[in-house]
Amino acid sequence: MIICIANQKGGVGKSTTTQALGAGLKLKGFSVLFVDLDAQGNLTYALGGDTMGATTLDILTQKATAQAAIQRTPGGDLIPSAPTLSGADMLLSQTGKEYRLSEALQPISGKYNYILVDTPPSLGILTVNALTASKWAIIPAQADTFSLQGIGQLYNTITAVKQYCNTDLIIKGILLTRHSSRAILSRDMADMMKETAEKLGTTIFSTTIRENIAIKEAQARQKDIFGYAPRSNASADYMDFIEELIGGKQ
């Protein structure tokens, strides 16, 4: 099962969600591979990866196989990011460019229960590759207007991918992150969120991820939230999210 975590807006918790989802799935006994498509490399850093070897750009440009690019990091198996991913839209220009990630991962897909793909805050060829390769997509977002506008812009990309590249893609839901229990979600915002989810043919996860300093502390120490602060709100929230996500697995 390949799952991508996508939203063109930055700062909504894509890398955090990717890491926590993978760590939680591993705790449940599943095998997990992380794939970092973001040139910023936040997931690669958090997992303790090394960008000096083969990277996701190498597998996209067919300079290395996915198997050769896998690193065994303290945080799990990883195909790391590279700063040069920022030029992927220029480097990947040939016919069939949307399928490069799917083709690269196909030989190893049977070795893992879950392959989790972290995407950049953009709607370029990297995000298209992630959506094309994936069975499921998860959209982290904050309960604010700008975040929802980003999802609205993502809608056009998802629609095109489903029409031309990946008819089997399922948008599993919108995950509200960095949520404050003291914040009151206005009726207008709640209606807007529901409308956005319906437009994407999906729903909003019942679980929300509360704002928690333990997440940043764990990432700084290159640990996952379950190992660093197992009794934190973030740990409880992400485990609840995983239960909700795979409880009704399709």
**CB-based contacts of 199, cutoff 8 Å, min separation 6:** 152, 155
Q: Please report the pLDDT score of residue 186 as a whole number.
A: 52
Query: Average of pLDDT values for 23-29?
Result: 95
Query: Average of pLDDT values for 168-172?
Result: 93
Query: Average of pLDDT values for 123-149?
Result: 87
Task: Say which range, 30-34, 73-77, 199-203, has the weakest mean pLDDT.
Answer: 199-203
CATH code for 2-244?
3.40.50.300
Instruction: Give the whole-angstrom CA distance, residue 127 versus residue 6.
Output: 7
Q: Please report the pLDDT score of residue 88 as a whole number.
A: 82
Q: Please report the pLDDT score of residue 248 as a whole number.
A: 56
Instruction: Give the whole-angstrom CA distance, residue 7 versus residue 201.
Output: 16
Query: DSSP letters of 150-172?
Result: HHHHHHHHHHHHHHHT-TT-EEE
Whether 118 has a pLDDT exceeding 90, the answer reads yes
Q: Please report the pLDDT score of residue 249 as a whole number.
A: 53
- Report percent pLDDT > 70 for the chain: 93
Whether 142 has a pLDDT exceeding 90, the answer reads no
Query: Average of pLDDT values for 130-153?
Result: 84
**CB-based contacts of 101, cutoff 8 Å, min separation 6:** 35, 37, 56, 59, 60, 117, 129, 130, 132, 133
| Domain limits, the chain | 2-244
Query: Average of pLDDT values for 149-176?
Result: 88
Q: Please report the pLDDT score of residue 33 as a whole number.
A: 98
- Structural tokens at position 149: 């506008």
